[in-house]
Structure 1
Amino acid sequence: MTLKANPGNYFEDFRLGVQIYHATPRTVTVGDVALYSSLYGTRFAVQSADTFAQKIGYPRSPIDDFLVFHIVFGKTVPDISLNAVANLGYAGCRFLKPVYPGDTLHAVSEVVGLKENSNHQTGVVYVHSKGFNQNNEQVLDYFRYVMVRKRDMDAEASAEHIPNLPKVVPVTQLGTACPIIDTRAYDFARAGSPYRWGDYEKGEKIDHVDGMTIEEAEHMIATRLYQNTARVHFNQLTEGQARFGRRLVYGGHIISLARALSFNGLANAFHVAAINGGRHVAPVFADATIFAWSEVLETAELPDRDDVGALRLRTIAAKDKPCTQFPLKAATEEYHPAAVLDLDYWVLLPK
């Protein structure tokens, strides 16, 4: 009997330097945008209204930055993380060009690091992934690292190599996905907040106040929207017998929830320019209620631009705990028990 179905790659299948061209190209539509909005309730004006976007300099509303990220990420899953235990984190993610409804995205990845775990049952795979549009223009560039099961714990793995991932995306590399905007035409009342880039200060902490409860169907619909096929998110028959006994919520679902919640306090942070790094510090399951808070790590001018400025944010998502006290560290200096996401990223705001 021939095996035509793809069982996915296990840790011992990966080789350093191998390039993987991922299936399937995906045309992004306004239907995808509507479903994304219904799942997260995102309210940023530039991505919500063509009229608002056109008034400040976009040809129309761009696709939400994290929807672009998730779609490109989803392309990589069947080849990289179909047999993953968990996605661990991200680094050096840059949004390079705006994506609009009608654009078609595809992805390519290179294996840049491998490290077998001491239990010989899993290993960490580091990949450098790139997303392109229909004109082969690069729209996204990022690194991620993921823990993947071994098929055979006695199988010999490739030589260990841990890459030196970028810690912070330089300010000089920000803003290519944001056209020059007309700040005089930017309607702060309709955007939902009077606060511009200059109104934020380094060290400022913002409680985003609201919480959202995750429903089992919602997180699976969201993950299917991105064509992410990782078994840990869908298959209760197998996951019921695994470590947690239930399906794991895709980490990107938490990122999008936190981003949507951040509107309350950062409504004019209309563009995510880069992700410096991110960690899923604890698993999340359906029925958890997600809250979020952010700290301004840095404010920065963009070279040769006087229309927008950049804020480097650290956003913490917490489950089943409002963030009035900004939960982050416990007494042991580990993460607070409620913390589930630690995301370091750059956003752009009008000056």
Structure 2
Amino acid sequence: MLPRSLVRACATSAALALLSAGPVGAADGARPPQDPRRTQGLFVDATMPAYQQGGAYQQRIGTVSQSFWVIPEAYGVDAVRSTVQEYTGNASAARRTPVLTVYGIPGRDCGRYSSGNPLRTAPEYRAWIRQVARGLRGTKALVVLEPDALPLFSSDLAACPTRPSGWPAMLRFASRTLSRTGAWVYLDAGHSDWTPYEARPRFLEAAGVQFARGISTNVSNFRPTADEKAYALTLLRGLKALGIRGKKYVVDTSRNGGTPSAGGHDAINPTWARVGARPRLVFEGAFDGRLWIKHPGESDGYENGGPAAGQWCDFLADRLLGFPESGTC
């Protein structure tokens, strides 16, 4: 399920000037400036795979905001800071909000499709996260933190042979460190069909959700938005019972526009999947809005005709758009 959009556009250098007209206090009735994430749109990155394909893929998928996945096999500890700065700098130049997904915890994906991670230890992970944070500082970004890690590592039903010891502390460190940059961090909480999840609020607490803005759901999955909203609110009620209040959530709608099959558990390039509602921040109660986190048209793995995880495939995009399948990748 790992997007590998590795070609980055050259950022235009922009100098930020801080203009000061003297101290402003409550006495003059001035209001603090509104957070730009509440007023500006989401960044559309022209280096995303669908945009590069041109034609209908570009028009229907590529011109839609999608998350930039920050992965250690592409952007190691020596490169990740500058890479994040470049991406967020492009977003700033466009006056749009950058959206990133941080996906590098040791043992991720339990040895399956997205297991090619060079980070093996907690110290390596913390060093990498520190560099991500240095690239994020002051950018007012949205950050989805470690898709699938918490529900996979906390599950009692499915063995995870690569689950690292101390994984809650790693997530806690990442949640706190990235949130301190001013980013809105959403700690990933799986999806509504990933059961049971009665204990998930306590795992979210252990993983540092109290430092984050909230949680993300449905990343790289296909569950209907209504189901995800109900699921997220269930988790937020569980957090409230633990004394953690005011948390928000976002839902990945990139591929949830179809009706799941009767079994409903097919999560690797399902033939019934379709693109979902376009991303938009709405700020309705606890619901911050919709994001496209998974890149439509990129494979989940070697099932239902797909190539390796993260590779673009024309006929997978055709399926999602309801087109006749091209028969090629």
Query: If the length of structure 1 is used for normalisation, what is the TM-score?
Result: 0.26
Q: Which has the higher strand share?
A: 1
Query: If the length of structure 2 is used for normalisation, what is the TM-score?
Result: 0.27
Relative contact order, higher structure (CA 8 A, sep 6+): 1
